[in-house]
Structure 1
Amino acid sequence: MLRNTRFSKTGMMATSLVMSLSLVLGACGNKNNESSGSPNASPSSSASANASSSPSGSGDAAKDLPEAKLTWYFPGNFPQPEQNKVFDEVNKIVKQKINATIDFKPIAFGDYDQKMKVVIASGENYDIAFTSNWINNYTQNVAKGAFIPLDDLLAQYAPKSYAAIPANFWDATRVNGKIYGYINYQISARTPEVSTSKALADKYGFDISSIGGKISADTMNLLEPYIQAVKKDHPEKAFITALSNIQEMFNFETISGINIPGAVYYNDDSLKVVNQFETDEFKKFAAVMRDWNAKGYMNSKERISKKQDDWADAKAGKWILNIGGAYKPGGDVLASSLGGETYVSAPASTPHLTTNGIIATMQAISRSSKNPERAMMLLELLNTDVELYNLLNFGIKDDHYAMNADGLMVAGPNQQAYNPQVPWMFASNFLAYVQEGMPKTVWEDTIKLNESAAPSKLLGFSFDAEPVKAEIGKTSAVFDEYYRGIELGVTSAEKYDEFVKKMKTAGADKIIAEMQKQIDAWKASK
């Protein structure tokens, strides 16, 4: 549930929680392989092998580079009390390795989308920004010309991390044959995570494993007895989810993000594109949320003023159960470390390996960047230097985190001063220290989950949004207007119909026709 933060997944999350909750774990492949086979070395040995490497070689080599300052925008559970203390330490390493410093621009999850729209529209000079299919939309920004192609930069300035990711993963990022997103390698086999406090589950006799793989728009009722029982004794608590975190639960894959019309059912060999907002699955989910809101499960009056739910409410004991983020090995431990109590979790449905799962966490280099080469050097460094990666994600050793006698990461004396819990935000999770309580095989387990997931029939297809970028902008605005009311159950059936009609007026049918055209051409070329 860790992430979601958007929402706990995985965007998951609440958004903050929801995103925080979705700490995505990474694994490595081999770029020279045409499929995502297991790496030859174990995750820990691969990470150690790369730990001392730097894109420019030694510190002496870095001195030959002119000094550069890079601006980096990313969302997360920010601000953190001691973030500047940590960022200063990060910059010491970056300065030594590639003679650059970073102007960090962390933005709260709920504000990031709007902030990046302003930054991009204004032509502001910046270098790197987090992008995905659920926030700061990747294909939409490529269509706008906001990002530069990375193919040549990857080969020249990020050879090690480029080679560590399977070729078919990079192919999933391609738009018109070019790569515009640098993948933060992580859990890519996607299904939402269902999670709750272990203390609550034990008190009310809820065996979360009993619902594992069974949750869909048709079976939400399996969760209701537990929610109802907790709610009776704890009216301050609520059921939490977010539309951006649960799309895989509907048995279809959205093509350009949940906020843009266009999806294909996993079991549809014809690859027919449908408007997800008109599907029975989406409408049933909206109806369940209306019913649950009428029954008082949602605490919607309190939550409607927020764009997203945050993890602070979970820590304050306001959550009954959350669906969001990506289910992953060790995810309950991550949620526990964030909230200070033990969580239990289960996969909502069957994991699928999808293009959206691959592009869910990426960095892009801005068209306005004055130092694209150095920006790519930074991405290589973040994805090959174990010390730097864990510093940025978990803070200063023996202060914000510590290592126990078994070599596992535990909370430091000052953990809450820097605990953003978004390792999937910054680089490959493969470099993260294993936390106490997680299986020591967590990275191997993550690889197995990626490899065993059912591949989407659209895996490798990447939509070019350029022909319909105006319509995408308009439909995204309609989604922004209605999504919060839908996920909180305050949108009536009539209001939902109004939402669908506005989507059509904004150009939904034209977007779907363009998606179908591109998918048909892609399918014919295979």
Structure 2
Amino acid sequence: MKKLNKALALGMAGAMALSMAACGGSGTTSGTASTASTAGTTSGAADGEVVNLTWVTVGNGQPTNYDAWLEQINPYLEEKIGVNLDVQVVSWGDWDNRRNVIVNTGGEYDILFTNMNTYVNDVHIGAFADISELVKTSSPELYASIPEDYWDACEIDGKLYGVPTYKDSSISEYLVWDKELAEGTGFTIPEAMPMSDLGTLTDTLTAMKDTKGEASFPMNKNGATWVAFEYDNMGTGLLPIGVRYNDETATVVPVLEQPDIQASLNTFHEWYQAGIINSDAATKPEENAYKPCSVAQGWSGAAITSWGPQMGVDAQATKLGPTVISNDTVRGSINCISANCAYPEKALELLQLVNTDSYVRDLLYYGVQGDNWDYTDDTKQWVHKNNADWTMAGYTQGSFFAVTPSDEFDFNQYDEVKELNENAEASVLLGFTLDTSAFKDQLANCVAIYERYKGELLSGTRPTDEIVPEIMDEMRKAGFDEIVAQCQEQVDAFMATKGTTTESAPAESTSAAESTAAESTSASSAA
């Protein structure tokens, strides 16, 4: 992991103030609450003591009614597992620096939210406790509540260092339509379609553009990152390298040279030339609030609960391609226990309640009962949200499926999420963690090259057969092919441990002029 630099040092004082009663010295206070685990396991605390645990996470900053929230949740936690909780909610803008300082200085925390961007590096510097066996003995209900594949996806070198959040942990991508505008052109919005059919939407999108007088598929400089969704990039952060999720030979390929990807890129260029994609897409910093048609990760019900309301229109969604589970999709939200935590068993008991006890989950997800929310009746089957003032981020906490649904809608949107997860297709590399230490410099150079071109590439601004060879030539001079070879060696070793014999096919390199649309579907990176 990177060493502490000057920027991080500047933030150290603020980070050290996060908690005075956390790991390494998790405080205990005398009390009458039971310290027995809900699973009947033994904690590290003495009888009659209440353990103080600090959980550091990200959100919209500390809630203004935080003290009132503590008065509700802590008595309940004391009674259940002998724990008092302190949650430190770091704002989004401060999160990267604050988190890095905390981790690199062994900062005071018991539980820390992390994700795919930082998890592996933090494990390698020894920041987190190995919970491989402890999670099964101290929190068996927690372990049983999350699918085995999700635990596998969080393993590093065969050991487990984090609790994945069971949410929309597979990835499903949707075309999101302004329903009235799309249907006004005579178009019938389909329930699902493969990526290879994107080109069939050109006439509809053109009619929508003409009706509205603006680009009907607007983009910003990030472009269509979802185009390579079916390729597992092994956590490299480099879209142009990957293994197709369902390729049993697990062949590492140059993604931009694959026929299905080039067919989609050609479609984007056609849309750009037709004005379907905005002319400033490659440089536009922000996304439009309103998009006549776009792609978003989620579930179809989000068209009713989120996407439509955010745009101020009735929206309808078309599922774009398969639902896939990979390391990256699962690692989008993980909670890890500090290697210095004095009471890791208690931390796991807490996470067990967060993931299995609906009252604890509702308090974290919605806020203060009686202020931010209330149950609609004594059955506690629905929650009524009184306001949207709660600043903790629900996706960072625990299972979506322990949350009591809101009465804003007449359905539980998370039922669909669970169904998508259960039917997701697993990447052939699920559970594989790439070691980039031998080629980190080459990888960093290739990432920098790709980032320079990404806006033009993924917005269709330049022709595929012009820009792709240019990108690949620069990356190959920077060591791209050597990266592919070393990735393949590690992938082959991993597949061998799965009992799968692979004969990797040569990485296909097809020019855009020769490309044909493959039977491919794609989705996007996690939102």
Structure 1 residues 464 and 268, CA gap change in structure 2 (3 angstroms) = same
The Cα shift of 1:156 comes to 5.2
From 329, 335, 338, the counterpart of 1:363: 335
Matched, 1:321 2:299: no
Residue of structure 1 equivalent to 2:209: 231
Q: Deviations over 1:473-492 (max 9, x none)?
A: 44444444443443344466
Q: Deviations over 1:21-79 (max 9, x none)?
A: xxxxxxxxxxxxxxxxxxxxxxxxxxxxxxx9699999x9997145344432x3x6x46
What is the total number of aligned residue pairs between the two structures? 451
Q: Which moved more, 1:491-500 or 1:222-231?
A: 491-500
Residue of structure 1 equivalent to 2:193: 213
Q: Which moved more, 1:114-123 or 1:169-178?
A: 114-123
Residue of structure 1 equivalent to 2:320: 348
Question: Given the two structures, how large is their TM-score scaled by the length of structure 2?
Answer: 0.70
Residue of structure 1 equivalent to 2:268: 289
Mapping of residues 291-306 of structure 1, within 5 Å: 291-299=270-278, 301=280, 304-306=283-285
Residue of structure 2 equivalent to 1:167: 148
Structure 1 residues 219 and 356, CA gap change in structure 2 (3 angstroms) = same
Contact 2:73–2:363 (CA under 8 A) maintained in structure 1: no
State the distance in 2 between where 1:507 and 1:148 align.
35
Structure 1 residues 144 and 61, CA gap change in structure 2 (3 angstroms) = closer
From 99, 107, 113, the counterpart of 2:92: 107
Find the structure with the greater CA-based Rg.
Answer: 2
Q: Which has the higher contact order (CA 8 A, sep 6+)?
A: 1
The Cα shift of 1:274 comes to 0.9
The root-mean-square deviation of aligned C-alpha atoms, in Å, is: 4.2
Matched, 1:457 2:428: yes
**Structure 1 unmatched runs, 5+:** 1-51
Mapping of residues 241-390 of structure 1, within 5 Å: 246=226, 249=229, 251-256=230-235, 259=238, 262-299=241-278, 301=280, 304-306=283-285, 309=287, 313-314=288-289, 318-327=290-299, 332-336=304-308, 341-365=313-337, 375-390=347-362
The Cα shift of 1:345 comes to 1.1
Residue of structure 2 equivalent to 1:486: 457
Residue of structure 2 equivalent to 1:193: 174
Residue of structure 2 equivalent to 1:18: none
1:347 partner SS: strand
State the distance in 2 between where 1:358 and 1:138 align.
12
State the distance in 1 between where 2:112 and 2:185 align.
43
Residue 130 of structure 2 aligns to which amino acid in structure 1?
P
Matched, 1:154 2:135: yes
Contact 2:150–2:330 (CA under 8 A) maintained in structure 1: yes
From 363, 381, 404, the counterpart of 1:433: 404
The Cα shift of 1:263 comes to 1.7
Structure 1 residues 225 and 139, CA gap change in structure 2 (3 angstroms) = farther
Structure 1 residues 282 and 357, CA gap change in structure 2 (3 angstroms) = same
Contact 1:408–1:433 (CA under 8 A) maintained in structure 2: yes
Q: Deviations over 1:333-366 (max 9, x none)?
A: 3434555543211210122344443333323345
Matched, 1:414 2:387: yes
2:275 partner SS: coil
Residue 234 of structure 1 aligns to which amino acid in structure 2?
K
Could you tell me the percent identity over the aligned residues? 24
Contact 2:55–2:112 (CA under 8 A) maintained in structure 1: no
The Cα shift of 1:272 comes to 0.9
Residue 387 of structure 2 aligns to which amino acid in structure 1?
N
Contact 2:283–2:455 (CA under 8 A) maintained in structure 1: yes
Residue 231 of structure 1 aligns to which amino acid in structure 2?
K
State the distance in 1 between where 2:308 and 2:263 align.
32
Residue 210 of structure 2 aligns to which amino acid in structure 1?
K
Contact 2:291–2:311 (CA under 8 A) maintained in structure 1: no
Contact 1:94–1:378 (CA under 8 A) maintained in structure 2: no
Q: Deviations over 1:382-438 (max 9, x none)?
A: 2233233233333445654555579665764533x3488x63332111112234476
Contact 2:139–2:348 (CA under 8 A) maintained in structure 1: yes
Mapping of residues 87-166 of structure 1, within 5 Å: 87-93=66-72, 95-96=74-75, 97=77, 98-107=83-92, 128-133=111-116, 136-143=117-124, 147-155=128-136, 157-166=138-147
Q: Deviations over 1:172-204 (max 9, x none)?
A: 221210113321112344331221233333434
Residue of structure 2 equivalent to 1:21: none
State the distance in 2 between where 1:178 and 1:380 align.
19
2:481 partner SS: helix
Structure 1 residues 248 and 379, CA gap change in structure 2 (3 angstroms) = farther
**Structure 2 unmatched runs, 5+:** 1-36, 78-82, 500-527
State the distance in 2 between where 1:329 and 1:363 align.
27
Structure 1 residues 144 and 86, CA gap change in structure 2 (3 angstroms) = same
State the distance in 1 between where 2:485 and 2:108 align.
35
State the distance in 1 between where 2:101 and 2:218 align.
29
Contact 2:216–2:291 (CA under 8 A) maintained in structure 1: yes
State the distance in 1 between where 2:111 and 2:216 align.
37
Residue of structure 1 equivalent to 2:163: 182
Q: Deviations over 1:99-155 (max 9, x none)?
A: 2312111315xx86677567656776555554444xx25445545655443324524
1:190 partner SS: coil
Residue 101 of structure 1 aligns to which amino acid in structure 2?
D
Structure 1 residues 325 and 517, CA gap change in structure 2 (3 angstroms) = same
Structure 1 residues 166 and 225, CA gap change in structure 2 (3 angstroms) = same
Residue 190 of structure 2 aligns to which amino acid in structure 1?
S
